[in-house]
Amino acid sequence: MDVWGYILTGVLSLVAGAVAGFFLARKYMMDYLKKNPPMNEQMLKTMMMQMGQKPSQKKVNQMMAQMNKQMK
């Protein structure tokens, strides 16, 4: 194999590794976020109170449903 063959093999290997790494990292993050959601009801209530809103359970449930729908 000449020099161009080695260069082409190296470039193709680099591209294939980058693509595979991207999809593996994406899958890992999706699974992680599904198991550990970034926001829960208590955090949402605290955030609403800091913004000066009185968090009713109905409003909290609506916002949680909206966030869960957006995650899917």
Q: Could you give the number of structural domains in the chain?
A: 2
Count the neighbouring beta carbons within 10 Å of the beta carbon of residue 43: 11
Domain hosting 57: range is 39-72
Same domain, 1 and 28: yes
Residues 30-42 pLDDT 10s: 999 888 878 788 8
Same domain, 1 and 32: yes
The set of residues, in sequence order, having a beta carbon less than 8 Å from that of 33 and lying 6+ positions away, is: 71
* Sign of the dihedral defined by the CA atoms of residues 52, 55, 59, 61, in that order: positive
Alpha helices (runs of H) in the chain, residue ranges in sequence order? 3-35, 41-50, 57-71
Residues 42-61 pLDDT 10s: 888 999 999 998 889 999 99
Confidence (pTM): 0.56
The set of residues, in sequence order, having a beta carbon less than 8 Å from that of 68 and lying 6+ positions away, is: 37
